Structure 1
């Protein structure tokens, strides 16, 4: 079977390998769609934490089951997977926080992932399609990242939620903040992305900190109170550090974006707000279920996200295109059907 291997930053190679052998507790999948995400782009550029080469990328997947020993699945079932493979015994797993397992192995990051024709995965990772299309199934994982961040923040109706970063993860976060009933503020330095937020996602407010004073605009929007929830979806150090100043008193700051360096904050300013800082890593099965329910109900439209498609055999030559801002990529899907 054919796989696409990232040998080193900036270098892909197609390789022919043996089909994986079946094992107890594992299921063999025929991959149908692969979403290209920020993790894949960063890995290709050489700036992804927790990463080593060579690596087969890809963890936003839809597939058909080829073989399985899971009693709830059968060959031919359409599925997605929860790609955060966990140990099941550490303190996080025992508390049902398998998304931050101490021995986490994320498909396509710590271990080889889905840019391949067939993939062997732990059977516990399977999620039934429940009528969703292959395209929709490939969107579930990235949308679940945002849904998990909103759940971490415990967003309630009518509060102001500022999402910093209008990339695919940030856009999904905005969607689930809206679904939770929040008044959403999108912040980004890309006017095209902000226009997308207004016109396609119908975000309540947008703000470009390069063109406007963010503190003044946030005070205006919130009647001087500032957002009660701030969520970073950029992973940019300057953006993360600036986000502390946008918090309301008693507010919650959630870091979905990941960055290699140390973050800094004014302790007195943070302390006087009695603010809460938390990270949001990956997602849980509950988040996947919530996302899939919202997709089935039409609360989230896949057409809003899928802007580019590429055949699996063309990925090596086309991958650079997805890094170019002028191409206005929201989500590119790799097609193996």
Structure 2
């Protein structure tokens, strides 16, 4: 079978892989759709410190069960499923305290281990989530939305609070949906008017184009500042902006990570007595919450998905995203297409 492989920074091509068979405790999944993630783009650009080459990317998965390994009885062939793509050690502090998403030995599909941008994969049965009641395409949106939902969980966002979401890419839109589900007022910020329009149509209460004075615009809308700022860009400017604009005693959550060290005026942390929290990956409950949310918002996928390409078109689609990242919110690869 064919797979998309990032051979080295700037070079992705189709390669041949052997068709896998499930071992004991595993499930074989025929892949229908895989989404390109921001980590795939950084890997393609040579900016992902966690990846080694060559690497098959892909961990935003929609598929159907093809076969069951010995001892697996909870699934049936033909079920539509997604996958929790994080593999944790089970013994570190994060794992033993109920936060395996932050495992110090974490291996994510498509990053530290081979991903799903191919015809069939095998994974432990415990990583498989059956999903019904959603279009098969939209199952590939569950994992990236779950990352956003987890950031909302980390923020402790309460009904009636105001949150500023910095960045309306895929993860930022997941934050938006999670924050709306939590009953918050959402202010979405991005450089792209097109992405802000998507945010508005998904339910954002206000939108701000980041080409202007974001701090002034947020202050005009909130007074002293928002209760929570969630950063989903991973840039120095937005890292600093989050701390600057959040209300005194507010909370800042970082999902993206900047590619270089950032110099803060740490006095701000103390004088404003703010909480700064990181957010990594997602928990099973976040996946379940996203599934419920997408079922309640059946048009969300149509707004979020920018392009669907075949596997043959996947290298060119990745190169196009690299050349103009602002033009796409979510690219899906249809592994069933010729």
CA distance in 2, matches of 1:20, 1:321: 31
8 Å Cα contact 1:161/1:183 also seen in 2: yes
Q: Deviations over 1:204-231 (max 9, x none)?
A: 12223332x2222222101x22011011
> Equivalent residue for 1:29?
29
How high is the TM-score relative to the length of structure 1?
0.94
Distance (Å, rounded) in 1 between the aligned partners of 2:270 and 2:148: 27
Structure 2 residue matching 1:313: 3-state secondary structure: coil
Output the TM-score relative to the length of structure 2: 0.94
Corresponding residue SS for 1:131: coil
1:196 aligned partner: 198
CA positional deviation for 1:43: 1.2
Equivalence map 1:1-337=2 (5 Å) = 1-68=1-68, 69-198=71-200, 200-211=201-212, 213-222=213-222, 224-298=223-297, 301-325=300-324, 328-337=327-336
164-173 vs 325-334, which deviates more? Answer: 325-334
Distance in 1 (CA, whole Å) between partners of 2:266 and 2:118 is 47
1 CA distance for matches of 2:91 and 2:313?
41
CA contact (8 A) 2:235 2:259 kept: no
Cα distance in 2 for residues equivalent to 1:141 and 1:113: 14
Take 1:2 and 1:326, find their aligned partners in 2: how far apart are those partners?
26
Structure 2 unaligned residues grouped into runs of 5+? none
TM-superposed deviation, 1:191 = 2.8
Deviation at 1:326, TM superposition (A): 8.3
Q: Which runs of 5+ in 1 are unaligned?
A: none
Matched position secondary structure for 1:210: coil
CA contact (8 A) 2:218 2:225 kept: yes
SS of the counterpart of 1:147? helix
Q: CA deviation at 1:299?
A: 7.0
The superposition leaves residues 164-221 of structure 1 with CA deviations (integer Å, 9 ceiling, x where unpaired) of 11111111211211121111111222233223323x223112223332x222222210
Q: 1:183 to 1:289 in 2, by over 3 A?
A: same
Q: Report the 3-state secondary structure (helix = DSSP H, G, I; strand = E; otherwise coil) of the residue aligned with 2:270.
A: helix
- Quickly say closer, same or farther: Cα 1:327–1:93, change in 2 above 3 A: closer
Aligned-residue Cα RMSD (Å) equals: 1.7
Greater shift, 262-271 or 113-122, is seen at 262-271
What number of residue pairs does the alignment pair up?
334
Q: 8 Å contact 1:308–1:329 — kept in the other structure?
A: yes
Query: Matches of 1:4 and 1:244 in 2, distance apart?
Result: 39
